[in-house]
Structure 1
């Protein structure tokens, strides 16, 4: 390969190329602008905690998914295909309508217009990939996207997890691997933002996104179509050099990869505005957001789990020694659908309860549903503790309308006595004994942290 790059130029755009250019320009625009009403109707604070963490509006913008991303479990290929077809039809109409309007213009003038449009397409695709991937990259560099398994997850049967949830947990077990992947993604993201390194960034992004797409197919991990969408955009960034890659890789001939020169603005303020926009994008979406994610990780938190702290002295795994319903003691049975089997107090304000009852599997991959998304076998409650009155207000994480108020006593450290009414207004009495349970996964992680 030649050490020099050449300026990209298309001296004579053929009609099929014109149609494809307009098709994918429309596609890039409609997939970066949130056009679906549900995006604006969502509770941003419930999903992103924008009130307490206002910088999370950056994550809102980064995740303004096209309509076909979230429908059908993130696998709406038909919707994606229909979107492409509609863009193709619109691109065809645009091409031939423009041809009629500009039929008196000479070929060179038409070419200049096509080159300007290509530059717009080039900017839209680069910044869309960077916008979406910057969030994934930073959330891996400071490993909060796939957190280490919680105590509840460590005490959930393997068969109670979906394949996608297992993939997330096994990745979270190895922060080193997650950070490595994040650094690779972040490097590719930054390279795509600069015109001379866009090709290298796109090649790296393809190397990243292709296995991610297959992982999501194999594990049903929830972002299958989203990864394919970004993979397509990264491939489109290489389309301008398709013949050069063919010559280099197949014909083994020398080829110089082209680059898109910045627009030659005649007015100084436009040149400055372009530079300010790029610097602001990098600072806000990468540097500023990275700074806040680093603080989040340093505090031992992740947006995939509740952010409110639990009572430190409560944290741990508890065996249910005695369980009474309406005054009647219910002996332990692994098949009992009423009796609690064990209880976990997390470091955040969650209580999870192991109960042998039918569970409705939740497979919606949404913000902060990592506790009960993709697994069954446990009930998850957020709790508010009144340490003066010795009461716990429990709110079902999956159904926040379901509330339970319990009083508690701690006769001695490690022993809990809970009393109150359950959601069916039955009186319950529970004795909990803390178990000092060791987890090989956690021991290995803690020993590395100590080193």
Structure 2
């Protein structure tokens, strides 16, 4: 007697669509991981996509811009489109070649393992970078002197994060916790939900403050969704239907003890590599600028003649932001940026125009009580500049500390 269940045409079509979508998602996950900005194959893949854009899609304006700092270039969006196309092709090929109509559950669970290790690496990398002035260092003198209205939206985010070491540290700590939870099977679902919550906030900042990491951060959120997909029904029953539910947990078993030891050892080597490579940011200390500060000009004398504050050739502020960068703000509020050489032993400051060897100014500086006096030459002219130094700790943004009690909001 034949007991094989009867399948109707509509049911077969429905099953085929579900299997196709399943294979498409799995294929796209691998394509994203192996072609993202942290993959050694990213450059090769981008070059291939660029060739397709120019020779197949006739998109001659698309360029491969290296060292741009942006992950949202035109070519990056083309990479997403090409990856979607490749995932469709891969899913169709596997679907047509598979005569047994398998469900690919094992492949799905293995892909989840790959995805959670990848997301864990990203979370640890970004998290550790926030724990010690890596991604968001304290605001520089140049940033503190910048008007809020003149900041870019992205600059506003960096200024906000740089203004609070505590908030930045906690943000990084949450990302590290999410990454660590993803590394273990017992905590993977909680880790994915935890990481997704953290990364949704990051993605929203990227979108609404025009930070060019929109594509990547969105994919990390989607990767977290993929990781919890295997437990979707259990989560739905528990959170929505309020029914007893249990997450899947497959205990790893081996027929030989040495296989178990090898897998466990390899796992901990990978975890150690992730932590050590990511935590290197904890030991990075940005170079200090000995004379860092904003020097507010009180008197500007050129060729023994004092220049009024209304004369555009006069200087309004000197901003020493690093040992090799100095900015000068003129009386008309225009800004000039110079390459600088600061010699603290001889107390001299040399200024050269960017990408020029010609000396713009050679100044000696001397401290007198609360003022700093610069004397020397600017081109062929002799100058004497009396300034008052303003350090980082003198700015209200840095002076205002945490208060448990606020009778009135301190909002200036």
TM-score, length basis structure 1: 0.67
CA–CA separation in structure 2 for the residues paired with 1:83 and 1:157:
42
Report SS of the residue matched to 1:410. strand
Q: How many residues align?
A: 365
Is residue 186 from structure 1 mapped to residue 176 from structure 2 by the alignment? yes
Consecutive unaligned residues in structure 2, runs of 5 or more: 1-14, 48-65, 405-412
Greater relative CO (CA pairs within 8 A, separation 6+):
1
Q: Which residue of 2 aligns with 1:310?
A: 289
CA–CA separation in structure 2 for the residues paired with 1:279 and 1:79:
37
Q: Which residue of 2 aligns with 1:408?
A: 363
Q: Which residue of 1 aligns with 2:297?
A: 320
**Residues 335-372 of structure 1: CA distance to partner in whole angstroms, max 9, x if unpaired?**
x3x543201234755423224779xxxxxxxxxxxxxx
Is residue 71 from structure 1 mapped to residue 76 from structure 2 by the alignment? no
Change beyond 3 A, Cα 1:420–1:90? farther
Report SS of the residue matched to 1:317. strand
Larger Rg: 2
Report SS of the residue matched to 1:233. helix
Report SS of the residue matched to 1:342. strand
Change beyond 3 A, Cα 1:174–1:19? closer
The alpha carbon displacement at 1:182 in A equals 1.8
CA–CA separation in structure 1 for the residues paired with 2:250 and 2:149:
52
Task: Say if 1:390 and 1:407, in contact at 8 Å, map to a contact too.
Answer: no
Change beyond 3 A, Cα 1:327–1:23? same
Is residue 166 from structure 1 mapped to residue 156 from structure 2 by the alignment? yes
**Residues 262-286 of structure 1: CA distance to partner in whole angstroms, max 9, x if unpaired?**
5x56566654443333323332332
CA–CA separation in structure 1 for the residues paired with 2:402 and 2:235:
47
Change beyond 3 A, Cα 1:249–1:404? farther
Q: Which residue of 1 aligns with 2:63?
A: none
Task: Say if 2:365 and 2:375, in contact at 8 Å, map to a contact too.
Answer: no
The alpha carbon displacement at 1:148 in A equals 2.4
Q: Which residue of 2 aligns with 1:417?
A: 374
CA–CA separation in structure 1 for the residues paired with 2:45 and 2:23:
32
Is residue 429 from structure 1 mapped to residue 408 from structure 2 by the alignment? no
Q: Which residue of 2 aligns with 1:15?
A: 19
CA–CA separation in structure 1 for the residues paired with 2:403 and 2:283:
22
RMSD of Structure 2 on Structure 1 (CA): 4.0
Report SS of the residue matched to 2:310. coil
CA–CA separation in structure 2 for the residues paired with 1:215 and 1:26:
26
TM-score, length basis structure 2: 0.73
Change beyond 3 A, Cα 1:418–1:202? farther
Q: Which residue of 2 aligns with 1:215?
A: 205
CA–CA separation in structure 2 for the residues paired with 1:22 and 1:40:
18
Task: Say if 2:298 and 2:388, in contact at 8 Å, map to a contact too.
Answer: no
* Residue pairs, 1:370-389, within 5 angstroms: 378-381=335-338, 383-387=340-344
Q: Which residue of 2 aligns with 1:285?
A: 274
The alpha carbon displacement at 1:188 in A equals 0.9
Change beyond 3 A, Cα 1:308–1:178? closer
Task: Say if 1:393 and 1:403, in contact at 8 Å, map to a contact too.
Answer: no
Change beyond 3 A, Cα 1:83–1:229? farther
The alpha carbon displacement at 1:443 in A equals 1.9
Report SS of the residue matched to 2:146. coil
Consecutive unaligned residues in structure 1, runs of 5 or more: 1-11, 42-63, 302-306, 359-376
Q: Which residue of 2 aligns with 1:59?
A: none
Is residue 91 from structure 1 mapped to residue 90 from structure 2 by the alignment? yes
Change beyond 3 A, Cα 1:81–1:346? closer
CA–CA separation in structure 1 for the residues paired with 2:351 and 2:234:
63
The alpha carbon displacement at 1:181 in A equals 1.8
CA–CA separation in structure 2 for the residues paired with 1:402 and 1:245:
65
Is residue 30 from structure 1 mapped to residue 9 from structure 2 by the alignment? no
CA–CA separation in structure 1 for the residues paired with 2:96 and 2:193:
35
Q: Which residue of 2 aligns with 1:344?
A: 319
The alpha carbon displacement at 1:37 in A equals 3.3
CA–CA separation in structure 1 for the residues paired with 2:332 and 2:40:
40
Change beyond 3 A, Cα 1:401–1:38? farther
Change beyond 3 A, Cα 1:421–1:37? farther
Is residue 82 from structure 1 mapped to residue 81 from structure 2 by the alignment? yes
Q: Which residue of 1 aligns with 2:264?
A: 275
